[in-house]
């Protein structure tokens, strides 16, 4: 899959060759929109083609931490990153947030998002799956942000 070390993380990493140029453009637009809404959050959309049985969760954990950080300042960015991986062979999706975002959405919420994606994929294909994922993720992240802001306000009020 990655001969040697893990590559540096980028926004769009289609190592399995799943996305056409049009789809890549669509995904970049979605990421751009999400960046505008949540300027702190960085995204990495990854597609892989696993040659053997492997745990996608474990792969995500490894890649997330093993992928080199080009600049020293980027290590801070990595903790604000969400990695969404598509494994082509078994048809799996896995999502993993950095430390800073762990508290914002629970594992169950991430699971819900992936489930939505799965349903949308069946109904309308990959493009629709990613679109619905980002749409619902936006809703959940907005709610999480508001909730956090309210908690901060309340704690200041005390």
- Contacts with other proteins by CB under 8 A lie at 18, 36-41, 56-58, 60-61, 64-65, 75, 78-79, 81, 83, 88, 90-104, 107-108, 110-111, 113-115, 117-118, 121-122, 125-126, 141-142, 144-146, 148-149, 152
CB of 4 to other proteins, least distance (A): 20
CB of 28 to other proteins, least distance (A): 18
* Integer CA distances (angstroms), 28 to 12, 19, 33, 70, in order: 8, 12, 9, 21
CB of 27 to other proteins, least distance (A): 14
Taking the alpha carbons at both ends of the chain, their separation in whole angstroms is 53
Q: 29 or 102, CB closer to other proteins?
A: 102
Q: 2 or 152, CB closer to other proteins?
A: 152
Rounded Cα distance, 9 and 66, in Å:
10
CB of 94 to other proteins, least distance (A): 4
Rounded Cα distance, 98 and 124, in Å:
30
Helix (H/G/I), strand (E/B), else coil: 77: helix
| Contact in structure between 45 and 117 (CB atoms under 8 Å) | no
């Amino acid at each position: 899959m990655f001969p040697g070390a893990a590559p540096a993380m980028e926004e769009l990493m289609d190592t399995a060759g799943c996305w056409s140029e049009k789809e890549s453009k669509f995904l970049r637009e979605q990421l751009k929109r999400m960046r505008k809404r949540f300027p702190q959050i960085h995204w990495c959309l990854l597609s892989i083609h696993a040659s053997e049985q492997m745990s996608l969760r474990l792969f995500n954990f490894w890649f997330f931490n093993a992928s080199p950080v080009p600049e020293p300042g980027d290590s801070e960015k990595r903790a604000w990153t969400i990695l969404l991986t598509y494994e082509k062979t078994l048809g799996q999706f896995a999502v993993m947030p950095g430390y800073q975002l762990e508290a914002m959405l629970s594992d169950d919420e991430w699971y819900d998002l992936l489930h939505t994606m799965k349903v949308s994929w069946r109904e309308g294909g990959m493009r629709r799956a990613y679109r619905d994922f980002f749409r619902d993720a936006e809703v959940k992240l907005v709610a999480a942000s508001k909730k956090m802001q309210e908690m901060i306000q309340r704690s200041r009020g005390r």
